[in-house]
Amino acid sequence: MLKISRESEINLINVLIDHDIISGKDLPNIKKVSSEGNKSQIDAVFELKLTDEVKILDVLVKEQNLEVVDLSKVNITDDIKTVLPSNYINMNFVAPFKVDGKTLHIAIPDSSKLGLMRNLKAITKKNIELHAAKVSQISEFIEKLLNESGDVTTATIRKENKDNREKTKTFESELGDVGEVLEKAPEEDIEAIENESEVIKFSTAVVAEAIKLGVSDIHIEPYRFNSRVRYRVDGMLSVQDHYTKFLHDNYGAVVTRFKIMGKLDIAERRLPQDGAINFKIEGKVVDLRLSMLPTANNERIVMRVLNKDAGDITLEQLNFDETDLKILRKNIHSTQGLILVTGPTGSGKTTTLYSILKEVSKPHLNILTAEDPVEYELDGVAQVQIKDDIGYSFSTALRSFLRQDPEIILIGEMRDKETVDIGLKAALTGHLVFSTLHTNDAPSTITRLQNMGTPDYLISAACSLILAQRLARKTCTDCRVPDDDVNPKVLTDIGFTPELASRVKATKGKGCPKCKNSGYKGRMGIYEILNVTKPIKEAILKKATTPELKAIAIKEGFQTMQEMGKKMIASGDLNFREFERVLSSS
């Protein structure tokens, strides 16, 4: 019979489910056999012949290309007995079996242990080399190692109880009995003892519902007296009350589940971690970007649902003014120049850039992109993932791109002067360069480039077009009613002429089932396009201020986002309060 800690048991069950070796339907049977025989759930999996340890080992070897070690033939040396704390070995179910100079060799049973690498290196101050071994051999080796180390075995901790809640109480009380052996109580979350099949169902339900609702971000947050799940829909966060109770009762187990799904270090609870999850729903794979942030209460989880449909949106669907669309098309089909898309996080810059790339992509053009992350795969476009942790930054990628004979280059973000300078020089030497910046509006983008230390002559010569944008919630078409609170004075205060203000009838959504009583349904883009014409280029060389550049641009036909917003209020698509929320600070 295996002697395996509960957290490691749950992790291994998760891995078997993730690899389709067992399914959620098997869990009730597994639990029944486990509780009836007072044995681990992995023993129950083997007894039910759902798989065997040879198949589990084979999955690990094929997936991670690890060397297999036969622990039954390994002798325990003195340096192995002290290399890791016994409670750490026991709780994490890993078997250190050889010290070779500065390298520690450790046997693991499944891929959930890969996340322990950084943690193991920090504890042992050694390089870690992982090996694959059978579950039973690891169990026997750990038991033998703990006995030879002179430690009292922690069998009482592993003892199963038929009732899950009683099992938690037993776990807590028995920790006191072995407190002098364990230097401190293990960091395992008590919540992880809860019914793991329910945790898996919960985690899947949270993500699946978010995808079906078209959510852009999922927030899972712990607080002292409660926990909550929030979805960001149409740019606004809303609490999902139906998840609150289960989440608060099982928060630690939910964190562990998402860490395993994102291949993160399950033992690291002090540092932020980032990962990715490939989530399958109705035969479709959806990518999630996962971020873990330790807080005073527990780890906070935020998942960005990457919009795979962004590359299928055409420029006509993006709500551009007809004149602005003509200017944009003229510039994106030119042979060189720098085109910048600006706006705050979540304003739809990536969607706009993907729509542009889809339009300009042709078989005779070589298009390269550097993105963080790559959100959507575009046919005919070579897309590169930025990896700052290994020094592969936007500037590094841009340098390598110039040796790849491209016509069009997309740089996900111009974060520093070096990237800006290389991008501008590329735009002057026969390349069409697209990128993004975080600025409030189009004219201030030029001032921002100047403040970064970029020479005026480079900005003037290379910049061809700047597109600034926001996303605003659209007033629901099914429940629009006149907005009596918005009178002509209110409209004149935001820039309407008195004559137009007297004619415009502002609307609002009163709320209906189709918009979930919010009054809003869907989002639309609000844009301003600054065509860098000759007068503007001359003004840049003269170090014109942002207001001066804006005044010159308006003479050249430039329409601000506020002007576009006012047209949308007049058409009824934009609510006055949404105009204030999105554009008042622009």
Q: What integer pLDDT is reported at residue 85 of this predicted model? A: 86
Q: Domains of the chain (ranges plus CATH)?
A: 6-188 (3.30.300.160), 193-305 (3.30.450.90), 310-473+523-560 (3.40.50.300)
Q: What integer pLDDT is reported at residue 441 of this predicted model? A: 92
Report CA dihedral (70, 75, 78, 82) to the nearest 10 degrees. Answer: 30
The rounded Cα 45 to chain-centroid distance in angstroms is 33
Give the residue ranges of DSSP H helices in 85-192: 86-92, 117-124, 135-148, 155-158, 164-177
Whether residue 64 contacts residue 128, with contact meaning beta carbons closer than 8 Å, is answered with no
* Distance, CA of 149 to CA of 413 (rounded, Å): 54
User: What tokens does 217 get?
Assistant: 């971000």
Angle at 400 between CA 344 and CA 276, to 5 degrees: 50
Q: Provide the residue count of the chain.
A: 586
Q: What integer pLDDT is reported at residue 197 of this predicted model? A: 67
Whether residue 42 contacts residue 9, with contact meaning beta carbons closer than 8 Å, is answered with yes
Residue 62 Cα distances to 19, 49, 350, 351, 437, angstroms: 12, 21, 36, 37, 43
Q: Which residues contact 570 (CB under 8 A, 6 or more apart)?
A: 500, 504
Chain position carrying tokens 């007995």: 81
Q: What integer pLDDT is reported at residue 91 of this predicted model? A: 84
Q: What are the backbone angles phi and psi of residue 74, rounded to the nearest 5°?
A: -95, 130
Q: Which residues contact 23 (CB under 8 A, 6 or more apart)?
A: 17
* Distance, CA of 563 to CA of 553 (rounded, Å): 14
Identity of residue 398: L
Strand-strand pairing, 337-342 and 381-385: unpaired
For residue 526, give the nearest of 443, 571, 583 by alpha carbon. Answer: 583
Identify the DSSP state of 77: P
Strand-strand pairing, 367-371 and 408-411: parallel
Q: What integer pLDDT is reported at residue 164 of this predicted model? A: 37
Whether residue 288 contacts residue 306, with contact meaning beta carbons closer than 8 Å, is answered with yes
The rounded Cα 152 to chain-centroid distance in angstroms is 43
Strand-strand pairing, 95-100 and 67-68: unpaired
* Distance, CA of 1 to CA of 509 (rounded, Å): 64
* Distance, CA of 273 to CA of 269 (rounded, Å): 9
Residue 42 Cα distances to 7, 297, 424, angstroms: 12, 32, 59
Q: What integer pLDDT is reported at residue 28 of this predicted model? A: 83
* Distance, CA of 299 to CA of 160 (rounded, Å): 28
Identity of residue 113: K
Whether residue 581 contacts residue 564, with contact meaning beta carbons closer than 8 Å, is answered with no
Residue 306 Cα distances to 368, 370, 376, 422, 456, angstroms: 20, 16, 8, 29, 37
Q: What integer pLDDT is reported at residue 449 of this predicted model? A: 93
Whether residue 233 contacts residue 216, with contact meaning beta carbons closer than 8 Å, is answered with yes
Whether residue 420 contacts residue 458, with contact meaning beta carbons closer than 8 Å, is answered with no
Q: What integer pLDDT is reported at residue 196 of this predicted model? A: 54
100 DSSP β-pair partners: 103
Q: In this structure, how many other beta carbons lie within 10 angstroms of the beta carbon of residue 427? A: 23
Q: Which residues contact 419 (CB under 8 A, 6 or more apart)?
A: 393, 394, 395, 398, 411
Residue 519 Cα distances to 214, 234, 486, 585, angstroms: 17, 12, 16, 23
Q: Which residues contact 212 (CB under 8 A, 6 or more apart)?
A: 281
Whether residue 93 contacts residue 4, with contact meaning beta carbons closer than 8 Å, is answered with yes
Q: What integer pLDDT is reported at residue 311 of this predicted model? A: 61
pLDDT, block means (10 residues), the chain with 586 residues: 81 81 83 85 90 88 86 89 86 90 91 80 88 92 83 41 37 34 34 56 91 92 94 92 93 89 83 86 82 93 81 85 93 95 89 92 93 83 87 90 94 90 92 93 93 92 95 93 91 91 92 90 93 95 93 94 94 93 77
Residue 477 Cα distances to 236, 313, 568, 574, angstroms: 19, 22, 13, 11
368 DSSP β-pair partners: 382, 409
Q: What are the backbone angles phi and psi of residue 212, rounded to the nearest 5°?
A: -65, -30
Q: What integer pLDDT is reported at residue 382 of this predicted model? A: 93
* Distance, CA of 215 to CA of 219 (rounded, Å): 11
* Distance, CA of 168 to CA of 194 (rounded, Å): 8
Q: In this structure, how many other beta carbons lie within 10 angstroms of the beta carbon of residue 412? A: 24
Identity of residue 364: H
Identity of residue 514: K
